[in-house]
Amino acid sequence: MAPLSLVCGVLAAAAVAWPETGKYVALGLGLFATVAGVLAYRRSAGQARPRLLAAAGVTLGLVALVLAGAKIALTLAAVGRLEQLL
């Protein structure tokens, strides 16, 4: 589960730069990477490599969540500002 978390985290980080629906894909993948990474981290108590992979997946997932959330918030703010202009 730790490699899956890392792969989803990398894909989520890459999806943030994707135009249009990339922010929603990044939000979903980032959430999945974070949850899977936390579960994998707790499950592999004595092994170093799976814990490092899980921690990296959690980190990338959280970064993608923050970036996608900021991108969505900025989009909603821009739409609200455009509504005020009309």
pLDDT value for 81: 94
**Under 8 Å CB-to-CB from 55, ≥6 apart: which residues?**
37, 41
pTM listed for this prediction: 0.87
If you average pLDDT over every residue of the chain, what do you get? 93
Q: If pLDDT is split at 50, 70 and 90, which confidence band does 5 have?
A: very high
DSSP 17: T
The distance from CA 62 to its chain's CA centroid, rounded to whole angstroms, is: 5
| 75 close to 21: Cβ distance less than 8 angstroms | no
Question: What is the domain extent for residue 35?
Answer: 2-85
pLDDT over 90 at 47, yes or no: no
Residue range 6-26: mean pLDDT, rounded: 93
The angle at the Cα of 8, spanning 7 to 9, to the nearest 5 degrees, equals 90
Domain count, the chain: 1
